[in-house]
Amino acid sequence: MPAQQPLAGQVALVTGGSRGIGLAIAARLGEMGARVAIAARDEKRLREAATTLRSRSLTVLPVPADVTDSSQVQHLVQTTRQELGEIEILVNNAGIGFFAPAHELAEADWDRVMATNLKSAFLCSRAVVPQMIRRRRGHVINISSLAGKNAFAGGGVYCASKWGLLGLTYCMAEDLRSYGIRVSVICPGSVQTEFSPHAGKDPGKMLQPEDVAHAVAMLVTQAPRSFISEVLLRPTQKP
């Protein structure tokens, strides 16, 4: 296997893959030789992302899906398996945020954030993990945030979802490690994306989506007898 393509022959599924962090992760895994399925709700944007990746000679399958809906998740996983093969790398990246004091947010805001940031990781993992267990190998990587470890004003609902994702990750890791499946979480600090513009911060000092993709690449190329359960990712300079 060429050193520059350590994932040759493997299949990866990246949720929230049409832009930002998810698109950067999909590109990095594709460059490493994986066949990559990307999922997002916005079909137009998803297909544009696929065109961008294919222009770089990467193998990509765009599958429109709302990953908060179990039936759509099942369709996403089945389509990926049929078109690309068994999934060996799952990156649960889909995420949104509403930022205001928790008592000022509507119940619908809570439900939407929890469904996208936490429930989707549960649904996608539940759909993919059984085949990993049968094959006794695989990676599940959840994209959380340093907000899952640090409180800040106006972050109640978002932080709660990311703290929950950490708990889910750690328990899944214990459930699955004996099957050769490595479950890890990446907690980035401020990343320059359109999702989180971070007004007042210097974009040149912020993390870039490619920095998160680099951490994913590190996790899927670990030595066989160990696994990194958590990555805290910060910029070298405070933005």
Contacts of 32 (CB under 8 A, 6+ apart): 4, 5, 6, 7, 217, 220, 221
Angle 123-161-208 from CA coordinates, rounded to 5°: 95
- Residue 58: name the closest of 89, 35, 80 by CA: 35
Backbone angles phi, psi at 235, to 5 degrees: -70, 155
Choosing from 87, 158, 160, 215, the catalytic residue is 158
Q: Is 170 an annotated catalytic residue?
A: no
Asked whether 43 and 120 are in contact (CB, 8 A), the reply is no
Contacts of 188 (CB under 8 A, 6+ apart): 21, 143, 145, 146, 207, 211, 212, 215, 233
Catalytic (active-site) positions: 158
